[in-house]
């Protein structure tokens, strides 16, 4: 029950983060600024928490270039996630975020050349059928093509990053991977601030601070939930984020998702659950593809793939 409660907290925190990202976009905050603040808040919070708990040494690494490569790919995923949240209704962007396990299966079969059975292939077909329903021609005016492309791009990148994380998890702690991802991502985004950044009203900075805090809390809640239960146990809770996203869309943006979302979302969610169940049944590591925000997904993979560290 504790793990489930923590996972519920993670879904709410991440849905709140994406709502704040969309809200900040309405105030004219640029994409590089959103990416900078999303990561900049995590760096001092993680470093401070470890320092005062006497665990600062867990940030050490002998593979800075591997972290930099992972950060480059992960930052691209964060860009896609932010773009999808900005361009699409929140429930649609959230639903497209659930496609990462579908792409993980494709990478496993087509690139890694591992065997994929009929259960997972069936799930992949059903999941992409759900995507076609959501982005169908009848809703093209309500579901921008660029937004759908960004949402699917985020799914591809999150699935790709999960394989990088499995490699890093052999030598580094989960918390160090989150920290270095945030640090490199913050530094990369800061290069664009002189060109795209501008001064904002005080309430806008409060929104930016809040979105960074919400994203960091989502990471911590996901990591904490995995201390008390496996991914296969808590993964179903992640789909509650669709409820939060719909609620935020109605209350904050007075926006109801296109009706095709309610036909396509069950197919995508069912596909993700089938893949999770099947990989758990086969005693494999479950792909971390059920959360909304890319860095939180990676945190889930890190705790599952690495030995338990108590962080």
Are 253 and 22 contacting, i.e. CB atoms less than 8 angstroms apart? yes
Mean pLDDT of 159-171: 79
pTM: 0.79
Residues 11-45 pLDDT 10s: 999 999 999 999 999 999 999 999 999 999 999 99
Separation CA 295–CA 229 (nearest Å): 20
Q: First and final CA of the chain: distance in angstroms?
A: 19
DSSP character for 287?
P
DSSP character for 88?
S
Half-sphere exposure of 31 (CA within 13 A, CB side): 14
Neighbours of 135 (CB within 10 A): 24
Residues 104-162 pLDDT 10s: 888 888 887 778 888 888 988 988 898 888 876 554 446 688 888 999 998 898 888 87
In this structure, of 87-96, 119-128, 167-176, the range with the lowest mean pLDDT score is 167-176
Separation CA 268–CA 129 (nearest Å): 8
Separation CA 169–CA 163 (nearest Å): 10
Separation CA 13–CA 182 (nearest Å): 17
DSSP 3-state of 264: helix
């Amino acid at each position: 029950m504790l793990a489930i409660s923590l996972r519920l907290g993670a879904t709410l925190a991440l849905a709140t983060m994406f709502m704040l990202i969309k809200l900040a976009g309405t105030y004219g905050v640029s994409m590089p600024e959103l990416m900078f603040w999303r990561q900049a808040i995590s760096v001092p919070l993680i470093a401070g928490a470890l320092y005062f708990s006497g665990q600062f040494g867990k940030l050490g690494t002998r593979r800075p270039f591997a972290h930099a490569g992972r950060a480059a790919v992960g930052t691209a995923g964060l860009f896609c996630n932010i773009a999808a949240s900005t361009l699409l209704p929140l429930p649609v962007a959230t639903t497209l975020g659930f496609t990462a396990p579908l792409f993980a299966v494709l990478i496993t079969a087509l690139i890694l050349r591992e065997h994929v059975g009929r259960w997972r292939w069936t799930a992949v077909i059903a999941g992409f059928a759900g995507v076609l329903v959501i982005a169908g021609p009848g809703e093209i005016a309500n579901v921008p093509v660029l937004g759908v492309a960004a949402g699917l791009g985020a799914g591809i990148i999150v699935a790709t990053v999960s394989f990088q994380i499995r490699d890093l998890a052999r030598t580094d702690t989960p918390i160090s991977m989150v920290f270095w991802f945030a640090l490199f991502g913050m530094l990369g985004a800061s290069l664009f601030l002189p060109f795209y950044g501008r001064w904002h009203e005080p309430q806008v900075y409060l929104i930016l601070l809040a979105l960074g805090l919400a994203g960091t809390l989502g990471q911590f809640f996901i990591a904490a939930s995995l201390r008390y239960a496996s991914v296969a146990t808590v993964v179903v809770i992640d789909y509650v984020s669709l409820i939060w996203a719909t609620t935020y869309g109605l209350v904050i943006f007075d926006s109801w998702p296109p009706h095709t979302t309610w036909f396509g979302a069950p197919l995508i969610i069912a596909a993700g659950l089938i893949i999770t169940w099947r990989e758990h049944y086969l005693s494999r590591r479950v792909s971390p593809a059920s959360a909304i925000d890319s860095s939180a997904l990676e945190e889930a993979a890190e705790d599952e793939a690495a030995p338990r560290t108590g962080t």
